[in-house]
Amino acid sequence: MQVFLLLLDHANEVVTRDAIFAAGWGGAMVGDDSLNRAINRVRRIAAETGPDLFEIETIPRTGYRLIGDFPGFETRAESIEATRTQGLSRRALALAGGAVAISAGAGLWFLKPHRARSGTDDRVEEAGQILRFGQSTSEVSATALLKEVLAQDPNNSEALGLLAYALAESAVEKDAGSRIAEAKVAIDRALALDPRNPNARLALLFFNTSNFDWVQTEDELLAVLKDDPDNHFALSRLVFLYQGAGLTGRSWDVNERLIKLDPVAPIPMMRRGLKSWIYGRTAEADKVLERLIRIWPAHASIWNARFLVLAFTDRTGAAQAMLDYTAALPKSVKPASMVQWRPTFAALDSPTPANRRAAVEANIAAARQSAGQAAYAAMAMSAIGELDAAYAITNGLMFAHGDVIPKRPADGSTSLINDQSWRHTQWISTPPMFAFRQDPRFQSLCDGMGLTAYWKLRGVRPDYPPTRMP
């Protein structure tokens, strides 16, 4: 990813090998093989998306150049807002369509059905790359590929471990009962073949710990990393855990290590953008997230990250433009999201009593629909100063307290909104949650989530940014 973004930022210009090494690996001692593999990945993107989009030119003894026509790659969300208010010319529409085609196509090789490969190792590696891409369809594509491998080689412990992890990670989303059962079978088979199988051990964490078992989860992740120091999924979960525990600095360091190990993976880069925002470096966050979203405009995680930064940095018009630009709207953005955000933007722009009441009503209704919308609702309520609503939503999400978020019965096909798997706390570190964290109730919330005990046991203090929203 880092290599592609560097070449894209300097499209049609020569980028030296030294510059690529510095951007992709941060000065770490790596050989030409690492660079060659990264360039080959970018070339594979070009081959999959079509020769007329872009290609990589080798400049002998110097570096590389990304050649192509890259229209419309300015600040995309703000350009959309301008066109929404000023109208679109036929030429502007054509350019916007071309930008989306290029950016959407750039990630297609991760998602395309696999072609015949030379061996099972290649297909297992491809499945891992698909999962690292982090798109909504990744688990389906990866599990299908891994099952093909296992049909030919039933005792492939690496494939079993990766299959177990993919199924366990997705089991909270849909068809929970069948996926959990299938994941546990894969875990047992993988560990029977190799008791130290890292991905099977990670999959086991989904069933043996909750999101509030901070110490046990950290210990298990570090144990996996002791045996497999470069395990992408263990590092990714450690990034997630540290941010959830309010340890942004530690989370940043692990994420930067992950970027150096896997410069092509988009999720660590997306997290860099969000963490820059958390640190108050909005311009840096903008740069990272704009580059990502022009490559993958419909990648749900990247889209959401860009949307949140715009929404909570006095650019509600640009955020609304993203919602209105349906050509690049991820499938995860439901109509209910539109209903939630319009009154929220009105309250952020003009916090009159009437606007605030409308925003509270819309966000409480949205919080009852999904965990993601509940987290966004708490952020929105904190941002407009409606802390009672923010705490009511958060306590309902985290502990099933109160009647804002009702507890739903499990039916085997869907997860509970209140299920422990949804109790993520990373969003509590974000700038719109500043007022929430300053409230006296925050201490008891941290006690209930096990954070206070974790901080004391580990001898650490959270480094929540001491700044308000801009």
Distances (CA, A) of 269 to 101, 263, 308: 21, 8, 16
The answer to whether residues 98 and 130 belong to one domain is no
Of 90, 110, 130, the last residue of a domain is: 110
Of 110, 134, 161, the last residue of a domain is: 110
In single-letter form, the type of residue at position 342 comes to R
Distance CA 17, CA 128 (A): 27
Q: How many domains does the chain have?
A: 2
Looking at residues 392-410, what average pLDDT do you find? 79
3-state helix, strand, coil in the chain (%, to 5): 65, 5, 30
Contacts 24+ apart (CB under 8 A), 118-125: 120/149, 120/152, 120/153, 120/156, 120/159, 121/158, 123/148, 123/149, 124/149, 124/156, 124/158, 124/159, 124/162
Of 82-96, 264-278, 426-440, the least confident: 82-96
Q: At what angle do helices 157-170 and 198-208 cross, to 10 degrees?
A: 30
Count of CB atoms situated within 10 Å of the CB of 405: 25
The answer to whether residues 80 and 123 belong to one domain is no
Distances (CA, A) of 443 to 24, 61, 313, 387: 40, 59, 27, 14
- Mean pLDDT value across the chain: 81
Count of CB atoms situated within 10 Å of the CB of 413: 10
Tell whether the model's pLDDT for residue 415 goes beyond 50.
Answer: no
pLDDT of 111-159, one tens digit each?
333 344 446 778 888 888 888 887 767 788 889 989 999 999 999 999 9
Domain with residue 78: its CATH number is: 1.10.10.10
Helix (H, G, I), strand (E, B) or coil at 66: strand
Could you tell me how many helices (H) and strands (E) the chain has, helices first? 25, 3
The answer to whether residues 73 and 126 belong to one domain is no
In this structure, is residue 362 part of a structural domain? no
pLDDT of 254-296, one tens digit each?
999 999 988 778 899 999 999 999 999 999 999 999 988 887 7
The answer to whether residues 143 and 94 belong to one domain is no
pLDDT of 345-377, one tens digit each?
999 999 999 999 999 999 999 998 888 889 999
* pLDDT of amino acid 255: 97
* pLDDT of amino acid 279: 94
Helix (H, G, I), strand (E, B) or coil at 65: strand
Q: At what angle do helices 232-244 and 266-278 cross, to 10 degrees?
A: 20
In this structure, is residue 152 part of a structural domain? yes
Higher pLDDT, 104 or 168: 168
Helix (H, G, I), strand (E, B) or coil at 62: coil
* pLDDT of amino acid 180: 83
Helix boundaries (H) for 11-60: 17-25, 32-49
In this structure, is residue 250 part of a structural domain? no
The answer to whether residues 154 and 57 belong to one domain is no
User: Percent of the chain scored above 70 by pLDDT?
Assistant: 78
The answer to whether residues 186 and 157 belong to one domain is yes
Q: Which domain holds residue 106?
A: 2-110
Distances (CA, A) of 460 to 242, 253, 429: 11, 16, 16
Helix (H, G, I), strand (E, B) or coil at 174: strand
Of 153, 181, 208, the last residue of a domain is: 208
pLDDT band at 37 (very low <50, low <70, confident <90, very high): confident
In this structure, is residue 219 part of a structural domain? no
Burial degree of 51 (CB within 10 A; 0-12, 13-18, 19+):
exposed
In this structure, is residue 316 part of a structural domain? no
With CA atoms as reference, report the closest residue to 367 among 343, 336, 338.
336
The answer to whether residues 120 and 91 belong to one domain is no
pLDDT band at 18 (very low <50, low <70, confident <90, very high): confident
- Scan for tokens 């306590």, then name that residue: 395
* pLDDT of amino acid 414: 41
| DSSP β-ladder status, 14-16 and 54-59 | unpaired
In this structure, is residue 330 part of a structural domain? no
Longest dimension (CA), the chain: 67
The answer to whether residues 48 and 70 belong to one domain is yes
The answer to whether residues 88 and 116 belong to one domain is no
